[in-house]
Amino acid sequence: MLPPKDESVELKPPIAIIGRPNVGKSTLFNRVTRTRSALVANISGLTRDPKVGIGKIGNAGYIVVDTGGIDSVDEDELSAAAASKALQVGKECAAIILVVDGRAGSNASDIMLADELRKFNIPVTVAVNKTEGLDFDLVLSEFSHLQIGPIIPISAAHGGGLISLIELATSQWETASYYETEADDLDRIRIAVLGRPNVGKSTLVNRILGDEKMITSDIPGTTRDSVEFDFTRDDQSYVVVDTAGVRRKGKTDGIAEKFSVMQTLQALDRANIALLVIDACEPITDQDLNLLGLAIDSGRSIVIAVNKWDNLSEEVRDDCRTALDRRLRFARYAEICFISALRGTGLKAMFDSINRAAAASIQKHKTNDLTKLLIKALDTHQPPMIRGRRIKLRFAHMGGSNPPKIIIHGNQGDKLPESYKKFLENFFRQELNLVGTPIKFFFLKGENPFSGRKNQLTKRQLVKKKRLMRFVKKR
């Protein structure tokens, strides 16, 4: 598999998944994002609040939003609120996927929903789900009367037709308004400041800029939108983006909070550096880890800033360092800085880490050098045996940067266990001195040059073959 194109400065537009309850919206969301974030069960109305994820199917960059089911007859207040929230989400997205049930057929709720979506003037693609074993022509004709957009049969449970669905959905929007880039973006380091509410993100931005640009308070959620500012420090140009604090799912009340999460994901996707701010006075929470996981999944370089470090006793600091080492071991390549946004201490070390991470993410290396490192890694630790055959890795070369992408050619490279891939990542990171940035490996297996070619025998070989066949038959 070849690495995707570099999309470090592209802003990903959102796609809303909308439909009746229990038609497979959450299953489709999990398939498209390649996660299990959304709960799936044969229970109508299981999803109530919108859920946001990064789409990982297809070539276009996009964000996926799973919404609650919309029915023509709402059973209770919660269902009505979920339906209203789903329509609000759809109105703000770049495209909509209307999911219908191919086995249940069309009903009044589908027609009502199509009429509502038609008012938005947003491209809509109809995904007919649960079409396994059904006649596609009959299924498509069942929903042709909706007349809202192209119709495509899919199977969210088995993954059938999803690539075609995403390509069809993303081909309908105007990409210009969503992929606006500036000419000098590549010359500036874009920093997305992430963190839970009230950890000091806006205070840190104000300290960096030397001005009270952002409103700060002790009230969580003071910042609701992503706001960016240009500045220069030590002859280096930066863009800092202060994002809204991402709360736990149970704490996100209202549609504004949901779009704050979406804007945070968009800011992260457009950044070069993800600066995760953690409160030193509080234990590391699962939400801190979730934000770190989002940064890792997006492929961005990471710097962790532990804020409110001043006035802590040495004993508390030791406990905090131990907790950081224990809970953040899956991202040990990210440098950790201890700062005080309020007093401005530790900022020089933080920017040194940001510059190192940014430089590491755009490093380029010659094929010869990478191949020598690969051979050195193989001498240190050989790949395992697969069905009695040794996996052979032959040479490596660069496939892109930001983050560094390394393509390795060989035999059975796609069968390498995750443990050995992790070994290669750590080995290359140490040898290339890559700090703060992830490394993506892609393994290509060599094709047999004689595959599909029939061996042409000479006359002498044909005579010998016939003689041997006669001998075998006599036996």
Report the distance separating Cα 368 and Cα 243, nearest Å: 42
pLDDT tens digits, one per residue of 94-150: 899 999 999 888 888 888 889 889 888 889 999 999 988 888 788 788 888 888 889
Per-position b or e across 383-417, b if 16+ CB within 10 A of its CB: beeeeeeebebeebbbbbbbbbbbbbbbbbbeebe
pTM to 2 decimal places: 0.59
Rg of the chain over Cα atoms, rounded to whole angstroms, equals 27
Indicate the pLDDT class of residue 4, thresholds 50, 70 and 90.
Answer: very low
**18-32, 215-229, 358-372: which has the minimum mean pLDDT?**
215-229
Cα–Cα distance measured from residue 305 to residue 278, given in angstroms and rounded to the nearest whole number: 6
Instruction: Compute CA distances 316 → 138, 176, 322, 346, 438, whole Å.
Output: 67, 50, 10, 18, 30
> Tell me, what's the pLDDT at 138?
81
Using the predicted structure, report yes or no on whether residue 177 has a pLDDT greater than 50: no
- What would the pLDDT profile of 374-416 be if each residue is shown by its tens digit? 999 999 999 888 878 888 888 888 888 888 889 898 887 778 8
Helices (H), 300-346: 314-327
- CA separation for the pair 192, 201 (Å, rounded): 10
Which residue ranges make up each domain of the chain? 14-177, 185-361, 368-445
Neighbours of 295 (CB within 10 A): 25
d(CA 100, CA 105): 8
Please write the tens of the pLDDT for every residue from 407-456: 898 887 778 888 999 999 999 999 998 899 988 888 887 555 555 667 77
Q: Closest by alpha carbon to 256, among 120, 264, 125?
A: 264
CATH topology match: 14-177 vs 368-445: no
Q: Is 3.40.50.720 the CATH classification of the domain at 368-445?
A: no
Helical ranges in 246-346 per DSSP H: 255-270, 286-297, 314-327
| Residue 72 reports pLDDT greater than 80 | no
Architecture of the 185-361 domain: 3-Layer(aba) Sandwich (3.40)
Identify the bridge partners of residue 190 per DSSP, sorted by sequence position.
239
Q: What is the CATH number of domain 14-177?
A: 3.40.50.300
